[in-house]
Amino acid sequence: MANSTDFITRVRPAQFERLLAEVRACRICEAHLPNPPRPVLRASPTARVLIVGQAPGRRVHESGVPWNDPSGDLLREWLRIEREDFYDERRIAIVPAGLCYPGTGDSGDLPPRPECAPQWHPKLRAHLPAIRLTLLIGSYAQAYYLGSRRKKTLAETVRARDEYLPQFFPLPHPSPRNRLWMKKNPWFEREVLPQLRRRFKAVRMI
Ligand code: SF4
């Protein structure tokens, strides 16, 4: 006879699938997007790590695969993880602050649509009970999850990471456009990346 645990493990994936279908059918900010909505995310209720980035760029929008670009290559290098393991959604959930490509402005990709995170993150997060570490990549993810706990600059927020751990690990965006930031902040590579790798490895393998 099924016990309550069997019930939970059987029922949760179906509920989760329904939620994912709901997300994928979302049209809330369609009028502001340059293309028909195409939410790009990967998640499973067993995931231990949640990666919250900004929003898909054009290349990710076209492929439907998150972090499928030079920023993703650098993020995998930071985490010392192979592509195949990075995309194992049983361990790693990837849910950006804005799920659809917001378009491009004069100085690069536009910010994530502000409607998106409040609409979907609480619902998705409620279905990800095994998350032990959330990587907050870039200022939009940090603004949403840290709120007033965020420092004045991204560098200060990353430096203050121990205030947010073990739940959140704030990081800069690994975009090639941020190379100058990395150069100006050598402590990031020296101090933060080793800590990130240790923490990520420990949590992912639980
Ligand atoms: S960006 Fe978010 S809120 Fe807007 S249509 Fe896509 S999933 Fe919906």
All structural domains of the chain with their residue ranges: 4-204
Is residue 11 over pLDDT 50?
no
The DSSP bridge pattern shows strands 92-94 and 104-105 to be unpaired
Say if CB 188 and CB 197 are below 8 A apart.
no
Q: What is the mean pLDDT of the chain?
A: 92
Shortest-distance Cα residue to atom 2 of ligand 1: 116
Is residue 2 over pLDDT 70?
no
Report the top-level CATH class of 4-204. alpha beta
Ligand 1 pocket residue status of 117, Cβ below 6 Å: no
The DSSP bridge pattern shows strands 133-137 and 49-52 to be parallel
CA 164 to centroid of ligand 1, rounded, Å: 28
Shortest-distance Cα residue to atom 4 of ligand 1: 29
Query: pLDDT tens, 106-142?
Result: 888 899 999 999 999 999 999 999 999 999 999 999 9
Q: What is the pLDDT of residue 107?
A: 82
Average pLDDT over residues 20-47: 97
